[in-house]
Amino acid sequence: MITLLVGHRGTGKSSLLERIASYYRDAGRGIRALDLDRAIVEAEKLPIGAIFSMRGEAEFRSLERSALARLIDEHRAAAEDVFIATGAGLEGPPPPEARCLWVRRPSDPLGRVFVDSGEPDGGRPRLDPEKAPLEEYLGRYGERQKRYRQWSEDVLTVPEGFGFPNPWERGFFLNTLAEVGGILTLPPELFESEARLRAYLARRLAWGVRFELRDDLLGAEELKLALARIPHDRILLSLRKGASHKGAITSLKPGALWDWPAEWALPSTLRPSILSLHEREGGTSVLEAGRRLERLSSKNPKTLLKLAVEARDFDELLEGHRWAMENPGTRSFLPRSTSGRWAWYRMLNKGRFKINFVREGEGSAPDQPYLLEWLRTPDRTATFAAILGNPVLQSHTPAEQLDYFASRGMPVFAVALTEDEWDNGALEALHALGLRAAAVTSPLKLNASRSAKVRTPEAERFQSVNTLHWNEPARCWSGHNTDLDGLRALFEPLRPESQVAVWGAQGTLPLLKSMLPCAAFYSARSGEKRPGPETTADSSPEVVVWGIGRSRQADSKRWPPESWRPSLIIDLNYSEDSPGREYAMRTGARYVSGMAMFRKQAEAQRRYWDTQFTPSS
């Protein structure tokens, strides 16, 4: 079998190819792992960047198609499985001899800025140099997204930071997953051909999942095909249109489940497997919505109740959770949001709620957990750790701290919350749900400092906390700050005589001023210099420490003065859409990301948590 790895630039297709090869080798199975770009370089005796520069994009795309055809022709008769990593701009249609696996990352929609590709073939030049780097990526995003969706029989979303071998990814590629649990919603593109549906189901029937068939996503013929191909004890038929419900229900065999929306009147003759509520009546609370479900199902005590209303804040999340926990055997709370911010809560209740959905790619709702996230989460966990911040989509903390907390039986989730939510009781709600340890990012470090009743000298000194632990004997939060450890690692390239300007970084200003007493500090919002000593860095800094993320930079729309010509940008962020990357491209400066800082901070956090955990905590 020949599989093409397709996906946006920066998703890690080449590194995934290496991991797939290692999974096969470790299992004693043969594999041919090929990289399309490398094949082009070898054939043309030129780096990819040189081909683009000398011949243009159209000529490169032609070379790309020809090289792919040659690879497939050379390996079509291989006894081993063949995987080929392709470039993000590959044009179709894909060869009929190959299947496509769409490799995604949750951060794909945010875009990426590529300062240094690090590719052995020399990388590729800007395709639209007249545009800003992020605009260039996003300008091609939609068309490529549509292309990958149409091509792909399989989708794999690799969580942020998980670019290392792991058992869940290994199970996916070696087809050894079992007892996965959860429900997968079948998208309409799977029904473009019966062969495509058959290939999709062949792998997943062994996983032990149910398949949701939604009559608002699938037409009559697609439903008919699904009912013929899927064992009915693996089917959940969700009625959302209403017009065809009677025929669909009567076609189900024993073992199948069907879901009736509580928003519709329920005929007395029908006994749904699941009664679901997705919208609250005006002004009603989450709890009142749950009570309504109870009343509607009072004549059918065996009916499973699915409360899938929007949870607007952490109080409403806790309210719905408490309703479900009154009888978790028949109640499932699946909170919804427009941003997908409650996916961690659904993972927290893996194995606890009888109804829980999983997605491999885009899915049918943003709060559905991704498959690999779901697989790494233990069932029925009582406590958990988290990264708390806004935003946290690109955080590597769940990957970095995975093994540490797994040894304590705790998953690690990324939980997005705002400063206002923190001040209005979000931390208390999270504790009630089982939070016992947390890493905290800007802009919440000051909030965390106020919440920590016990603080280390480092936290006291800077009035800032980035590490929390629940102190059970004292019944309060203890706080620590490891920013100093991280900044020492990040600032290693600095010479004592370096002229440094700090742009932004409001959340860590006291700490930065203690480390860089001769630096000039600037507000990224106003562009004005903060109070401090006069320095030559005011007009011509050699080094700019970048301390503002994409969302806040987008709000201010302000960049450092045009007269600055730094030779080095040190970014406090490690996200791939950081405007610090773009500023390095604008100035031609060498770029250092905040990854070294993050890893050193994380290491220091583990040392702190080691001093705090007790058998009872």
Q: Is residue 351 a contact partner of residue 181, using CB atoms and an 8 Å limit?
A: yes
> What six digits make up the tokens of 586?
């604008």
Average pLDDT, consecutive stretches of 10 residues, N- to C-terminus, the chain (617 residues): 96 97 97 95 88 87 94 94 96 91 96 68 66 92 95 95 97 96 94 90 94 94 94 96 73 95 88 95 94 92 95 98 97 97 98 97 95 97 96 96 97 97 98 98 93 96 95 96 95 89 88 91 91 71 93 84 94 95 94 96 98 73
Give the domain ranges of the chain: 2-173, 381-481, 493-598
Pairing verdict, β 467-471 and 435-440: antiparallel
pTM to 2 decimals? 0.94
Which of these, 599, 603, 546, lies nearest to 572 by C-alpha position? 546
Task: Write down the pLDDT at residue 552.
Answer: 81
Same fold: 381-481 with 493-598? yes
Task: Write down the pLDDT at residue 119.
Answer: 42
For 97, residues 6+ apart whose C-beta sits below 8 A from its C-beta are 2, 72, 76
State which H helix or E strand residue 603 sits in: helix 595-612
Using alpha carbons, list the distances in angstroms from residue 322 to 155, 223, 287, 315, 385.
Answer: 35, 36, 9, 11, 20
Q: Respond yes or no on whether the N-terminal peptide bond of residue 566 is cis (omega within 30° of 0).
A: no
CA atoms of 499 and 264, how far apart (whole Å): 68
Q: What is the largest CA-CA distance in the chain?
A: 83
Task: Write down the pLDDT at residue 536.
Answer: 59
CATH value of 2-173 in 3.90.870.30, 3.40.50.300, 3.40.50.2020, 3.30.450.370: 3.40.50.300
CA atoms of 183 and 234, how far apart (whole Å): 9
Q: Euclidean distance between the first and final Cα of the chain, in Å?
A: 50
Q: Which of the 8 DSSP states describes residue 616?
A: T
Residue-by-residue DSSP string for 529-589: BPS----GGGT--SEEEEE--HHHHHHH-----TT---SEEEES---TT-HHHHHHHHHT-
CA atoms of 124 and 49, how far apart (whole Å): 4
Task: Write down the pLDDT at residue 92.
Answer: 84
Task: Write down the pLDDT at residue 120.
Answer: 38
Pairing verdict, β 2-6 and 81-85: parallel
Task: Write down the pLDDT at residue 245.
Answer: 62
Using alpha carbons, list the distances in angstroms from residue 245 to 185, 191, 242.
Answer: 18, 20, 5
CA atoms of 370 and 346, how far apart (whole Å): 11
CATH value of 381-481 in 2.40.40.20, 2.30.31.70, 3.20.20.70, 3.40.50.10860: 3.40.50.10860
State which H helix or E strand residue 34 sits in: strand 31-35
Q: Which of the 8 DSSP states describes residue 190?
A: G
CA atoms of 567 and 513, how far apart (whole Å): 21
Name the residue type at position 316: E
φ, ψ of residue 288 to 5 degrees: the values are -65, -35
Long-range own/partner contacts, residues 119-124 (CB < 8 A, 24 or more apart): 119/14, 119/37, 119/48, 120/38, 121/37, 121/38, 121/41, 121/47, 121/48, 121/49, 122/47, 122/48, 122/49, 122/50, 123/47, 123/48, 123/49, 124/48, 124/49, 124/52
Task: Write down the pLDDT at residue 244.
Answer: 56
Task: Write down the pLDDT at residue 615.
Answer: 58
Q: How many CB atoms lie under 10 A from the CB of residue 494?
A: 18
Q: Is residue 372 a contact partner of residue 177, using CB atoms and an 8 Å limit?
A: no
Q: Is residue 15 a contact partner of residue 35, using CB atoms and an 8 Å limit?
A: no
Task: Write down the pLDDT at residue 507.
Answer: 76
Quick one: 496 exposed, middle or buried, by C-beta within 10 A (0-12, 13-18, 19+)?
A: exposed
Using alpha carbons, list the distances in angstroms from residue 395 to 158, 180, 449.
Answer: 13, 25, 21
State which H helix or E strand residue 250 sits in: helix 245-250
State which H helix or E strand residue 333 sits in: strand 331-333
CATH value of 493-598 in 3.90.226.10, 2.40.70.10, 3.40.50.720, 3.90.1150.10: 3.40.50.720
